[in-house]
Amino acid sequence: MSTCRFDRRTLLKGTGAALLTAGSGALLRTQPIRAADPSAAPSPAPIPGSRVPIETIRRAPKVLLHDHLDGGLRPQTVIELADETGYGGLPTEDPDALAAWFLAGADRKSLELYLEGFDQTVAVMQTPDAIARVAAECVEDLAADGIVYAEVRYAPEHSTAQGLSMDAVMEAWLAGFATGMARAADAGTPIVVRALVTAMRQTDRSREVAAVALRFRDTGVVGFDLAGPEAGFPAIDHAPAFQAIRDASFRATCHAGEAAGLFSISDALGACSADRIGHGVRLADDLFDEGGETRLGRVARDVLDRRIPLEICPSSNVHTGAVPSIPEHPVERFRRLGIAVTVNTDNRLMSGVTVSSEMATLSATFGIGLEEMRAMTIAAIDGSFAPYEERMRILHEVVEPGYDRLIAEGAA
């Protein structure tokens, strides 16, 4: 056990997060820590109008809380795994064309249509080797984007079509994460990546999946999640699974307020006691303009007062039709109200994004700079399900010095 002493929590106005503040200098120092320097990775495409250049954003230490393992495969890997496993359902074997096919399929303004692309990725994730490879590459790709801590989620039941047990899926997945973290550390870009175990709304296995999450809680799983089509499949139907998580003093997030309205967020926070909300964009339905002021309804007030983090995924929300466009996205309104906004990818392959590109898109649209990015990163590490000591270490040894350095450079 750690002997760290952390004795204060200070709420900083405008950070959108309860800022964790260390007590004495007894921080864990298990290895040299530095923010990722992804200079070896290919340069991302510039985002026109971004106040902060995307190359600078990539150098900033970032935290990712909402990313699907089956939504972030490299196109080349999909092609190679299909070849190895004899899967013949891919629309093309050209990686660029395949990436374009996924994006075109995702951007149809419907969550149900958005989810169709996963049939292809899940089809090639049916063996332990394939799952481990996808997981290791996921970690390497996140590290190359300058992410220093991530929680990546997956529904293990998706990989049971050819006879794997959910436990076998978990073992391959977590082994892949370990491989990826070792490779990233060797490359000088250390990253911590943990797993969230997802249950699907449209199946009846959530209690079984919650038990899987709890079995692997000491070997890399930090929480439970519920995903899938919202309409017609309310989270409250899965309340017993969330209760099992809560009874075991474990953590949970829940996709809500994406394809369904405010009641879905209420369900997630009430009956399911979720610690975070995946998306939550429909919380905007509970904000009312009155005489130039914003009045918060009961649910929005609860989210603000309890510091419930929202896992915002801007481009995905446009692709699924949850919001009409980035300029109409409520993320900036939430942030200005002090809600704990975090910036996420959802599905890097399907939506063609990285955390850096999403930050640049918000910078181009709303004019946010490095200070705002720092605040949202602090909200993310604070809202993560990592142990307190690890959150403190990442905050004080990686996030804060990383942004201090960039801001001192006059990067924004």
Q: For Zn ion, which is the closer residue by CB, 72 or 146?
A: 72
Q: For Zn ion, which is the closer residue by CB, 353 or 364?
A: 353
Min separation Cβ 279 and Zn ion, Å: 7
CB-based burial, 38-69: b 16+ in 10 Å, e otherwise = beebeebeebeebbbebebbbbbbbbbbbbbb
- Check residue 389 for interaction with Zn ion (CB under 5 A): no
- Check residue 225 for interaction with Zn ion (CB under 5 A): no
How far from the centroid of its chain's Cα atoms is residue 322's Cα? 17
Q: Which stretch binds Zn ion (CB under 5 A): 57-65, 294-302, 341-349, 401-409?
A: 341-349
- Check residue 70 for interaction with Zn ion (CB under 5 A): no
The residues annotated as belonging to the active site are: 258
- Check residue 346 for interaction with Zn ion (CB under 5 A): yes
Min separation Cβ 231 and Zn ion, Å: 15
Q: For Zn ion, which is the closer residue by CB, 157 or 346?
A: 346
Q: Which stretch binds Zn ion (CB under 5 A): 35-43, 81-89, 214-222, 338-346?
A: 338-346
Q: Give the CB-nearest residue to Zn ion.
A: 346
Min separation Cβ 142 and Zn ion, Å: 16
Is residue 224 within 8 A of residue 252, CB to CB? The reply is yes
- Check residue 358 for interaction with Zn ion (CB under 5 A): no
Min separation Cβ 320 and Zn ion, Å: 9
Q: Which stretch binds Zn ion (CB under 5 A): 1-9, 130-138, 343-351, 356-364?
A: 343-351
Q: For Zn ion, which is the closer residue by CB, 346 or 358?
A: 346
Min separation Cβ 351 and Zn ion, Å: 10
Q: Which stretch binds Zn ion (CB under 5 A): 170-178, 195-203, 346-354, 376-384?
A: 346-354
Number of residues that bind Zn ion (CB under 5 A): 1
Min separation Cβ 313 and Zn ion, Å: 7
Q: For Zn ion, which is the closer residue by CB, 107 or 346?
A: 346
Binding site for Zn ion (CB under 5 A): 346
